[in-house]
Chain A
C-alpha cells in the first residue's frame, strides 16, 4: 500500500515537473541557437569586433 502511494506521489510529481522540463528544453534550444548561429555569424562577429576595438584602449 505504501509502495503504491509512493509511486502515485512520484507520478504526480513528474506530471508537475514535466511542463517545466519542456519549457527549459525549448528555452535552452533558443539560447544555444542565439549563441551559436547568430553570434557566430560573420555579421555578428564584425559587429562584436567593432565594439571590442571601439572600447579597447
Chain B
C-alpha cells in the first residue's frame, strides 16, 4: 500500500503529459513514423507540463493548483490516447521483438521501477538530496516556486523538478524516484526512433536500446532524481527533427525541443546553439538549400526556443539580476547580480573546475577521449563507464553510413558537442545524448562487421555487444540491489536510513515531535531535504549566508525575529559542535552521537538581545 500512491501519481502525470504533448501533433512532419510521433508527443508533453507548472507556481503552487493543471492534461489526452491505442495494435503486431535485447531493456526498466520506489538516503554529496528534491519539497511547503536561499543550485532551470514537486504532492516522497521509469523510457523510445531513422531495422533498434539501457554512465543520469537522461532525450528530439525539417512548423518544433533542453539544464544552451549551427551547415552544404531561407527558418527556431525557455531565465533575470544564475564570470560584466557574494561564486567555480577536470585538457587528451571514456570512465565520474561497443564498433557504423546527410549533420554535432563538453566540464553524465548516438552507430557497425568480416570477425563483434551489455547490467544491478532490497523489506529500509544518512535520528525526532515548529540548522552539511517542517539554514554549502550573518553568534543574536523553536547542531568537520556545551537559554531535548537538538527557551531571546 505504501508504494501505490507513488505509482498512481506517475501514471497520472504520464497521461497528463501525453495530453499536453498532443498540442504539438500538427507540428510533427507527416513522414514521421508512429514511434517518432509517440516519443515526440511524450517529450513535448513533459516539457510543456513542467513549464506550465513552473509559470503557475510563481504565484500559486498548492496541491489544488497542481491537480488542476494535471486534470487539464488528462482531459486533453482522452482523444489522442484512444486514437493511439487503436493505431498501436496493428503497428505492434508488425513489430518483431527480439528476445535478448528486449530482455535486457525490460530487466533494466523493472529494476528502475522497483528500485525507484525506495526512499532516498545519503548526504549532501548527492545532488538529488542537495537540490533536485530540496527545491520541490520547499516549494510545496511554501505554496510558491522560489529558489531555496541556502542552496544556490536551486536557481537552475527546473522543468523536470516542477514535475517532481507534482509527484511529491500527489504520491509522497517515493514518487519522484519512480519517475525514472518515464525518463529512461522516453530516452529509450528516442533511441529507437533515431536508430530507425539512421537505417536500422526494429531488431537493430532494440539492440541499440539495450546498449543504452545497460550503459552505466547513461543509467547514472537516469535514476534517483537526476535529470540528465530526460535532458538528453530533449536534445535528441531536437536533433531528430532538425536534420529532417523541411517546413517552418518543423523548425518551430525543433525550437520547442531546444527550449525544453534549456529549461532542463544550462548546458542545453550550448547543445541548442550547436544544433542550430549544424543544421545550418547541413542544410546549405548537404541539402543544397539557399542560405537566406535557412537563416530565416533558423531565426524562427531560435525565437521559439527562447520563448519556450523564457519563464526560467526571465524569472532569474527579474528577481535575481541575471538570467543564468549562478552567473558564469563572463556575464558579470553585463548583469548586476543580486544576493550572491563573490566568495560563493569562487567556491562554485572551483567546484565546477574540480569535478569537470576529467583526464585533463589539450589536443592529445581530446583525441584520446574515446579511449579514456571507455577505459577510465571513473575519471569522468562515469560510474561503470560506457561499455565497449562505442569504441569497438561505433567507428565502423560511421564508415557504413558516412554518405547520409542526416548522419553528417549528427556527426558534426557530436564532434562540436564533445569539444564544448571537453573545454567546460568533463562529467560523463552531461553528454548522455552523445552515448545514445554512439550506441546506434555501434549497432550499425556491428551490422557492417557482419557484412564484411570473416566468421571470426562476426564472433568478435558479437562478443563486443555481449560484453557491453552484460558488464553494464552487472554494474547497474550492483548499484541498485540495495534500493530493491529496501523496497521489499521495511526493516532493511529503516536500517539503511540510519546507516547511510548522517543525523538520521535527528531528522526523525524533528519530523515526529509536535513541539518542533521551526528548526534552526547551524551546520552547512545538514540535508534540509529530510526535514518536513519549516527551517532556517543561515549557512549554505557554497558559502551562502541567508541571514547576512557570518558566524553562529551573529545568527543567535537574530533569534528573536527568526521564530525558531529548536536548534539542530551536529559535529562539524573541525570536530566540534557549533554551540558550546550547555549553552544558556537552550534546553537539550535530544542527543545522539554527534547530534544534538535544543529547544530555544523563552528567555533566550532576551539573553541574546542583552549580549
Contacts and interface: CB of A to CB of B under 8 A. Distances in A.
Interface in A3-42: 18-19, 22-23, 25-27, 29-30, 32-33, 36-37
Interface stretch (B449-457, B530-538, B542-550): B449-457
Nearest to B460: A26
A29 B395 CA distance: 12
A24 to B, nearest CB: 9
A27 B396 CA distance: 14
A23 B453 contact: yes
A30 B465 CA distance: 10
B453 A19 contact: yes
Contacts of A33: 374-375, 388, 467
Given A18-B452, A33-B388, A23 B374 contact: no
B388 A29 contact: yes
A26 B464 contact: yes
Contacts of A37: 375, 385, 471
Contacts, number: 47
Interface in B372-406: 374-376, 385, 388, 391-393, 395-396
Contacts of B606: none
B461 interface: yes
A26 B457 contact: yes
A21 B393 CA distance: 12
B463 interface: yes
B385 A26 contact: no
Nearest to B395: A25
A33 B387 CA distance: 9
B439 to A, nearest CB: 15
A19 B385 CA distance: 28
B463 A29 contact: no
A37 B386 CA distance: 11
Contacts of A29: 374, 388, 391-392, 464
Interface in B427-460: 449, 452-454, 456-457, 460
A28 to B, nearest CB: 9
A3 B447 CA distance: 35
A57 to B, nearest CB: 34
Contacts of A30: 388, 392, 460, 463-464, 467
Contacts of A26: 392-393, 449, 457, 460-461, 464
Contacts of B454: 19, 23
Contacts of B460: 23, 26-27, 30
A22 B392 CA distance: 9
- Chain B interface bracket (under 10, 10 to 19, 20 to 34, 35 or more): 20 to 34
Pick the most buried of A19, A26, A30: most chain B CB atoms within 10 A of its CB. Answer: A26
A10 B85 CA distance: 57
Nearest to A38: B471
A23 to B, nearest CB: 4
Interface string B32-64: 000000000000000000000000000000000
A26 B460 CA distance: 7
Name the residue in A22, A32, A33 with the highest tally of chain B Cβ atoms < 10 Å from its Cβ.
A22
A27 B452 CA distance: 15
Contact of A22 (B374, B375, B453, B467): B453
Contacts of A36: 375-376
Contacts of B396: 22, 25
Nearest to A18: B452
B449 to A, nearest CB: 6
B360 to A, nearest CB: 18
A26 B445 CA distance: 11
Contacts of B464: 26, 29-30
Nearest to B461: A26
B447 to A, nearest CB: 12
A33 B376 CA distance: 10
B472 to A, nearest CB: 11
A27 to B, nearest CB: 6
Nearest to A15: B452
Contact of B452 (A22, A25, A32): A22
B332 to A, nearest CB: 42
Given A26-B460, A29-B374, 12 more contacts: A18-B452, A22-B452, A23-B457, A23-B460, A25-B396, A26-B392, A26-B393, A26-B461, A26-B464, A29-B388, A33-B375, A37-B385
Interface of A: 18-19, 22-23, 25-27, 29-30, 32-33, 36-37
16 contacts: A18-B452, A19-B457, A23-B454, A23-B456, A23-B460, A25-B392, A25-B396, A26-B392, A26-B393, A30-B467, A33-B374, A33-B388, A33-B467, A36-B375, A36-B376, A37-B375
- State the 4 A-B residue pairs at the shortest beta-carbon distance, nearest first: A29-B392, A23-B457, A26-B460, A36-B375
